[in-house]
Amino acid sequence: MKLFTIICAAALTICGSALAFSPDTITAHFATPVLVGETTFPAGNVIITVARGSNVVLTFRSQSGVTTSVLANRINQFAETDTNTTVVLGRQANGLKVERIWLDDHSGFALVPNAD
């Protein structure tokens, strides 16, 4: 009986760890081309996959097949108003660039800037 309990506890731990690192998915639509990291995405729908672990990696995939992965830092917004999932764009000399993603729960991700 004790061995059975240990095996069940180990199985729950493994399943819990797998769920803790399961990726989240966000769908966004860009009306104009947007720069993500060093990759330009055309206008259209983009699926963003969030892989949480010791580092947060955001993978962007467009309908046209363009794909890139970028590192991000976790951020929090302590606002009292309700928010929706939002992709925040910043203006660059050559167009728009993804800077942050805010989630419904007032947490989010700030993309790590490229080292120039």
Tell whether pTM > 0.85: no
Contacts of residue 106, Cβ cutoff 8 Å, sequence gap at least 6: 76, 77, 78, 79, 83
Please give the Cα distance from 84 to 103 (Å, whole number).
6
Nearest to 50 by CA among 15, 26, 30: 26
Q: How confident is the model at residue 106 (pLDDT cuts 50, 70, 90)?
A: confident
Sequence ranges of the domains in the chain = 23-111
Give the residue ranges of DSSP H helices in 1-116. Answer: 2-20
- For residues 20 and 32, give the distance between their C-alpha atoms in angstroms, rounded to a whole number: 34
CA distances from 104 to 9, 27, 51, 79 (A): 33, 14, 17, 11
Beta bridge partners of 96: 34, 91
Per residue in 20-54, pLDDT (tens digit) is 444 589 999 999 999 999 999 999 999 999 998 88
